[in-house]
Amino acid sequence: MIAGSGEVIYVGKAKSLKKRVASYVHVARLSNRIARMVAETRSMEFVTTQTEAEALLLEANLIKRFQPRYNILMRDDKSFPSILLTRDHPFPQVLKHRGARSRKGEYFGPFASAWAVNETLTVLQRAFLLRSCSDSVFASRTRPCLLYQIKRCSAPCVGRIEDADYRALVNQARVFLTGGSQVIQHELARRMEDASEVLAFEVAAQFRDRIRALTQVQARQDINVGGIDSTDVIAAHQAGGQTCIQVFFFRAGRNYGNRAYYPIHARADEPARVLEAFLGQFYETMAPPPLVLLSHRVENRAVLAEALGVRAGRRVHVTTPQRGNKRKLVEHALTNACDALSRRMAESATQRRLLDGLIGAFDLESAPQRIEVFDNSHISGTEAVGAMVVAGPEGLMKNAYRKFTIRGGRAAKTAAGAPADAPVPGEFTPGDDYAMMREVLTRRFARALKEDPDRSRSQWPDLVLIDGGAGQLGAALAVFEELGIDDVPLAAIAKGSDRNAGRERFFLPGRPAFALEARDPVLYFLQRLRDEAHRFAIGSHRARRKKGLTRSALDEIPGIGAKRKKLLLHHFGSARAVAQAGRADLAAADGIAHSIANKIYDWFHADG
């Protein structure tokens, strides 16, 4: 279903499209939410598929792509990390992996979090001494690195271990990752005893340390998973019109962690319906395991299992256990879902009270649903970065954060995609904080005016908070006046004269500066928002500065990619030598045509 603006507002599937569409004709029988959806619909598109399973997969793909506001939406779509044991090198590397599985090797996972992967990688380093360095670092080593010194790598890069012995370590790690930790532990214990008997106590101590690393992992398995191999346990708990879905990952009989999700849905949607909609989107980018345990019976279980089987390329069982160990796992997941939702609702209630407190503090008409906080970071004007963080009724909205590389001049307008008549930030001297703030705000709101002029997407802020004093507020007001924005509240927050937190002064248009009570929860809330914006800006600036330290002057030349850059450096030895070379010298380098040579020469001699 498509609205008049062209926005896709709903995606659905049905055995009979005629019956499904006809059900929307009787408006009196529809809920208020569905009636609004029908009223907004101006056109419909239809796609027919061969099977119900194919329709389910297509529905999940389209929901992921369009994020229709009348569908049940899974908001957290980050890919899950896994562990990769490579196969494209004589000495396999073990590393954390996220995204498409395009590199040759064995993948183990998914893990619920990067923390769980890092913990397991630490164990692999301590227990099996496998390398974690990149192939380029491996090839350039002439002596063992620090990981070898602290006994977390066997240093195959410099020949401290034979090929056969390293392959044996790789096989042991593979057995461990597929659930055979007890087998490996017994083998290491036997070899430790053998080394002790021949008085090789240093070797025995190495085996002892590896056994300890394995024991730490086994001690953290706090859930009985007997009889469970590769399984996802998914439970939904509903309260107060909200739903929490907990997903537990079990691989090779071990708990790989869990993650909570809070899908967007109508208050009237039952848990089973929310769970069914969630599953299609959840496995849209990840292969399901052979067994999926659910807390509720879903209506189209057979079709869902068939669709997941198509996704995985093998048979997938979807079941709701009623007794035994599997039911205990589901109940454990339900308990976690209930606890997580309770915490979230408590946090949301606190957050709502804080947002309500802003009404009186800033003379707002209603509690803001979206607050945008802006800050800049630079060193004497270099590597300047602007940052925007966003908060709402559910806390920080990190997927809405934005960073701006501050350029000055017309580059800001071009980057923002601003309309032709939009104001252009002028050129400014390095370190001009006011001009930087003007550029950031111009780019943010010029783009908003272009992409969402009627404000139908709810991406406009109800409050803009600037990190700074009266000067920064004046810069923001000037941008809003130039863009014709007069209905977005503005405020600035500045620390006191001694720069101590707790003595912040607030600046609003047309009002004298004021301060909130030292113990006011609203003050703490605004401090956290300001500090989060500062943290994000500083982090973005440091990342850009670090990147700048490793960049070459050749990286700035249009049309010069990694291959030509490598050819030039091999021929001339350094970027400085390239800059000093003549046209004929540049053309003499392998792979550099005369036209490219002229382009390079003109780039370095533009002023001449």
Which pLDDT tens digit goes with each residue over 264-306? 888 788 899 899 888 888 888 778 889 999 999 988 888 889 8
Rg of the chain taking only CA atoms, in angstroms: 30
CB 199 within 8 A of CB 151: no
User: CA-to-CA distance for 255 and 222, rounded, in angstroms?
Assistant: 8
Q: What is the largest CA-CA distance in the chain?
A: 88
Helix axes 521-549, 324-362, angle to 10 degrees: 100
**How many other C-beta atoms lie within 10 A of the C-beta of residue 364?**
16
| CATH 1.10.150.20 intervals, the chain | 553-604
- The answer to whether domain 553-604 has CATH 1.10.150.20 is yes
Residue in 488, 486, 490, 528 with CA at minimum distance from that of residue 506: 490
Q: What is the pLDDT of residue 53?
A: 72
User: CA-to-CA distance for 151 and 125, rounded, in angstroms?
Assistant: 8
Pairing of strands 395-396, 402-405: unpaired
Main-chain dihedrals φ then ψ at residue 239, nearest 5 degrees: -160, 140
CB 51 within 8 A of CB 242: no
| CATH 3.30.420.340 intervals, the chain | 368-548
Buried b (16+ CB within 10 A) or exposed e, 589-606: beebeeebbebbbebbee
Q: What is the pLDDT of residue 457?
A: 67
Pairing of strands 242-251, 231-239: antiparallel
Give me the residues of the chain with pLDDT under 50, please.
217-224, 410-426
CB 72 within 8 A of CB 278: yes
> What superfamily does domain 368-548 belong to in CATH?
UvrC, RNAse H endonuclease domain (3.30.420.340)
Q: What are 103's two structure tokens?
A: 């590199």
Q: Write down the H helix ranges in 133-289.
A: 135-140, 146-149, 163-177, 181-197, 201-219, 271-282
Length of the chain: 608
Q: What is the pLDDT of residue 345?
A: 78
User: CA-to-CA distance for 398 and 389, rounded, in angstroms?
Assistant: 7
Q: Of 3.30.420, 3.40.1440, 3.30.70, 2.60.40, which CATH number belongs to 50-75+226-364?
A: 3.30.420
Q: What is the pLDDT of residue 428?
A: 55
**How many other C-beta atoms lie within 10 A of the C-beta of residue 104?**
10
Query: How would you list the strands of the sheet with 254-261, edge to edge?
Result: 254-261, 242-251, 231-239, 291-294, 317-319
Contacts of residue 124, defined as CB under 8 A and 6 or more positions apart, other chains included, come to: 83, 94, 130, 173, 176
User: CA-to-CA distance for 326 and 323, rounded, in angstroms?
Assistant: 7
Q: What is the pLDDT of residue 358?
A: 92
Q: By three-state DSSP, how is residue 59 classified?
A: helix
Residues pairing with 250 in the sheet? 231, 255
Q: What is the pLDDT of residue 96?
A: 86
Q: What is the pLDDT of residue 373?
A: 94
Q: What is the pLDDT of residue 221?
A: 44
User: CA-to-CA distance for 249 and 233, rounded, in angstroms?
Assistant: 7
DSSP per-residue letters across 530-553: HHHHHHHHHHHHHHHHHHHHT--G
Q: What is the pLDDT of residue 418?
A: 47
Residue in 63, 3, 69 with CA at minimum distance from that of residue 264: 69
In angstroms, the first-to-last Cα distance of the chain is 60
User: CA-to-CA distance for 601 and 578, rounded, in angstroms?
Assistant: 9
User: CA-to-CA distance for 525 and 527, rounded, in angstroms?
Assistant: 5
Q: What is the pLDDT of residue 466?
A: 93
Helix axes 301-312, 52-66, angle to 10 degrees: 70
**How many other C-beta atoms lie within 10 A of the C-beta of residue 417?**
12
**How many other C-beta atoms lie within 10 A of the C-beta of residue 86?**
18
